[in-house]
Amino acid sequence: MLRITAYLASSVALLVLGFSFQNSTIGDLATGGFLALVVPAVIAINGEKESIRMRWYSVRYRSKMVRISAAYLFRIKIDGMYLLVRGSRFPHYQPVGGVFKVSPKGQYFLASIGAQDDDLIPIDQTSESDLRIRVRGANLSRFYNWFESRSGREDAPWREFQEELISTSILPSNPFPYIFHEYQGRIVDRIRFSPYANSHEIIMADVYELLPTREQEDALRSTLTAPREKFGWFTSEEISRRGVLPGTTNVIPIAEHAQKII
């Protein structure tokens, strides 16, 4: 944020100087300097856009309780098809992944900003420590800065991969003693009022792409023709249309958030 402020202050100063000394060497240099700062300023603002948006939300919704759900999703793609698994809580197909878990250190921080447990989904042994909370809007910026720091929370997608694909025997364990993955970015939905949660909410998702070894790719490809029961492979069109395709009566329920991985 300080870097953006410095870029903007410098750009404004150079722009004023350029107008003040038009048709002169000083004016030309100032104008050139202004143009040279525009590109890095835009890049810096783009890189901080979510943080800036959270600062605005902290002001705009400061007195409201906001529900936050922060998860990670796996893009697993073979031969143009995407792997989705059937959800355990809801009977639709969705990407491999789940809500981030919070460590005791993270729970201490969340308590310090007055975060409350979310009551939309019952808390049990499976959902305990999930990063699914409600926090007063005034603390949204503090929450996001903490989340960005990666301190006190889960920071690797292996757990859900193992639980949803290996433990369920969808994939054999031998080719997957480890996995390589590449971080693709973060998708933060705009704040909205959710009638289901009866509050405003923000849904966040970090997207990772699996980078399989040759042996792992072969194991994945061997499941392409398996019956769509516990899991299935889907085209981008099927996911975009959430399982509803023209000219067919068979509708496959695909979760809306599956679109985040295509």
DSSP letter string over 101-137? Answer: BB-HHHHHHHHHTT-EE--SS---TTTTTBSEEEEEG
- Residue 121 has a pLDDT of 73
- Residue 227 has a pLDDT of 86
> By the 8 A CB rule, do 72 and 208 touch?
yes
Write out the two tokens for 110.
Answer: 């969340």
- Residue 235 has a pLDDT of 94
- Residue 244 has a pLDDT of 84
The residue extents of the domains of the chain are 2-47, 63-261
Three-point CA angle 109, 114, 120, nearest 5°: 105
The CA dihedral of 227, 229, 235, 237, to the nearest 10 degrees, is: 130
Write out the two tokens for 84.
Answer: 């989705």
Cα–Cα distance for residue pair 39/111, rounded to 1 Å: 40
Write out the two tokens for 21.
Answer: 């000394």
- Residue 40 has a pLDDT of 54
Write out the two tokens for 130.
Answer: 């999930």
Q: Is 112 exposed, middle or buried (0-12, 13-18, 19+ CB in 10 A)?
A: exposed
Give strand pairing partners of 132. 69
Residue appearing with tokens 């985040």: 260
Write out the two tokens for 165.
Answer: 């694909």
- Residue 168 has a pLDDT of 94
CATH of domain 63-261: 3.90.79
Q: pTM for the full model?
A: 0.79
Q: What is the mean pLDDT of each run of 10 residues along the chain (262 residues)?
A: 50 47 52 51 58 93 96 96 89 94 96 91 73 96 95 93 95 96 95 93 97 97 90 94 80 92 96
Residue appearing with tokens 């989340």: 147
